[in-house]
């Protein structure tokens, strides 16, 4: 853990120095544009916020983790399709390259960039696993933190984005969608806690950005394609978008049953979201989300997490602060289904549907005319998922998105 913190501090200080130098060198563009174009910001703008968010909730399930370490484990799954799914973005990257589609880099430049990225990602993830020694929810071993599958999948998705996102934002979105599905599956199969998933995703993105930066220092302009150079961004364009989302879910409601206390813990939301804007400020849209919530029952981890699906639609709002930065808000309502969850041998909850609503705020950063990253925070309210209880289920989700704009 000390090593991990040291790496973050070094990245931030080195990045700050690079950022200051970039701002000092230029005198014809706004300070914001300088900060956005600085190497430090390009490297850290997506990965660092995700890692910080994951570390912030690392201790949220301390009691439950202690119970798991003492032998109160969730169900163990023998087959996990994400063992293979995690590599799909990498397979797509090689297929496009072998097929002759021109991307960002020549073969030699791409190999060096990806080698740096893989070495850093695997090195940091494995180093943390050996240092932290966190027990998995299913109790198989003590290598839960961070999620290696998630780190590798987001690393490969970011490689795909770096190489071919300049050709089509749909390629980037597809890679991140697969990485998000991999991350959610690790919680569905009781292999990881929410903090493991989020930090793993941040490591994969951050280390890939660092790997490409190191290769850029070596190769300079050699082996770069013309696709790298993007057109100027239009501040007043309509910000219609489609995104793939990964978020942490913080339940605010617990229920008292005759046999004990049902307490949902920090979980993961994964899904897609989109909106069509009539002008730069207002539009309509919706989302489809799968939520995975571990449940604590009398201080014991439930045999399986509760899986929920939410489908909502409503109004979306946006304001273009700068050409690359937009602030947004939404108010949506819809339908939620909570799957059955086995708390112990006899008690089950869920297996019911209810109306739900959400309000939220967001900040979107466009890194290209048709692609960007978004951070959001939503408050949700829905009916109870425990039979016989009418109290509303409340939650807060905080997360990020990879978005294409059209």
- Cα 57 to the chain's mean position, in Å? 14
- Domain residues for 295? 241-405
Quick: pLDDT tens for 242-290: 999 999 999 999 888 877 888 889 999 999 999 999 999 999 999 999 9
Quick: pLDDT tens for 334-378: 999 998 888 876 777 888 899 999 999 999 998 888 899 999 999
Which range, 60-64, 162-166, 303-307, 312-316, is most confident?
312-316
* Among candidate residues 186, 201, 227, the one where a domain is terminated: 227
Q: Residues 179, 263: one domain?
A: no
**Whole-angstrom Cα distance, residue 273 to residue 371?**
14
Q: Residues 143, 289: one domain?
A: no
Q: Residues 259, 185: one domain?
A: no
Domain total for the chain? 2
Among 290, 284, 282, CA closest to 311: 290
- Return the bridge partners of 250, or none: 396
Q: Residues 253, 334: one domain?
A: yes
**Mean pLDDT for the chain?**
87
Q: Is 255 part of a structural domain of the chain?
A: yes
Q: Residues 246, 392: one domain?
A: yes
Q: Residues 126, 53: one domain?
A: yes
Give, in degrees to the nearest 5, the angle at Cα 367 between 200 and 377: 55
* Among candidate residues 199, 227, 255, the one where a domain is terminated: 227
Residue 391: which CATH number? 2.40.160.20
- Return the bridge partners of 329, or none: 317, 361
With cut-offs at 50, 70 and 90, classify the pLDDT of residue 30.
Answer: low
Q: Is 25 part of a structural domain of the chain?
A: no
Quick: pLDDT tens for 47-105: 999 999 899 888 877 777 877 777 788 888 887 899 999 999 999 999 999 999 999 99
* Among candidate residues 196, 227, 258, the one where a domain is terminated: 227
Q: Residues 283, 166: one domain?
A: no
**Whole-angstrom Cα distance, residue 275 to residue 286?**
6
Q: What is the pTM of this model?
A: 0.88
Q: Residues 188, 289: one domain?
A: no
Q: Residues 82, 180: one domain?
A: yes
**Whole-angstrom Cα distance, residue 195 to residue 145?**
8
């Amino acid at each position: 853990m000390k090593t991990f913190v040291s790496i973050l501090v070094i990245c931030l200080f080195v990045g700050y120095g690079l950022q200051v130098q970039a701002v000092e060198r230029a005198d014809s563009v706004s300070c914001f544009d300088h900060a956005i174009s600085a190497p430090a910001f390009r490297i850290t703008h997506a990965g660092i916020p995700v890692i910080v968010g994951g570390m912030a909730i690392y201790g949220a399930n301390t009691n439950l983790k202690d119970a798991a370490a003492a032998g109160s484990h969730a169900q163990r799954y023998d087959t996990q399709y994400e063992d293979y799914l995690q590599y799909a973005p990498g397979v797509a990257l090689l297929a496009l390259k072998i097929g002759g589609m021109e991307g960002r880099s020549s073969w030699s430049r791409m190999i060096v960039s990806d080698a740096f990225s893989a070495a850093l990602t695997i090195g940091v993830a494995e180093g943390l696993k050996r240092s932290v020694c966190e027990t998995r929810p299913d109790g198989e071993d003590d290598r839960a933190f961070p999620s290696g599958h998630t780190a590798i999948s987001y690393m490969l998705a970011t490689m795909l984005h770096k190489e071919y996102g300049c050709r089509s934002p749909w390629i980037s979105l597809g890679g991140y969608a697969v990485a998000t599905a991999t991350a959610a599956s690790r919680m569905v199969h009781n292999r990881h806690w929410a903090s493991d998933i989020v930090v793993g995703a941040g490591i994969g993105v951050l280390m890939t950005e660092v790997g490409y930066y190191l290769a850029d220092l070596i190769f300079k302009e050699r082996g770069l394609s013309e696709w790298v150079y993007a057109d100027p961004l239009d501040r007043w364009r309509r910000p219609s978008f489609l995104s793939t989302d990964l978020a942490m879910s913080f339940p605010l409601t617990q229920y008292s049953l005759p046999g004990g206390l049902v307490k949902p813990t920090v979980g993961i939301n994964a899904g897609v979201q989109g909106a069509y804007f009539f002008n730069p400020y207002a539009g309509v849209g919706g989302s489809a989300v799968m939520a995975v919530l571990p449940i604590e029952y009398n201080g014991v981890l439930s045999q399986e997490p509760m899986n929920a699906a939410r489908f909502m639609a409503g109004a979306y709002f946006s304001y273009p602060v700068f050409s690359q930065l937009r602030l947004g808000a939404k108010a949506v309502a819809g339908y939620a289904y909570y799957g059955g969850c086995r708390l112990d041998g006899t008690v089950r909850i869920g297996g019911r549907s209810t109306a739900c609503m959400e309000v939220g705020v967001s900040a979107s950063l466009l890194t290209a005319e048709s692609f960007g990253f978004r951070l959001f925070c939503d408050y949700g309210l829905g009916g109870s998922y425990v039979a016989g209880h009418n109290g509303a289920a409340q939650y807060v989700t905080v997360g990020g998105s990879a978005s294409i704009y059209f």
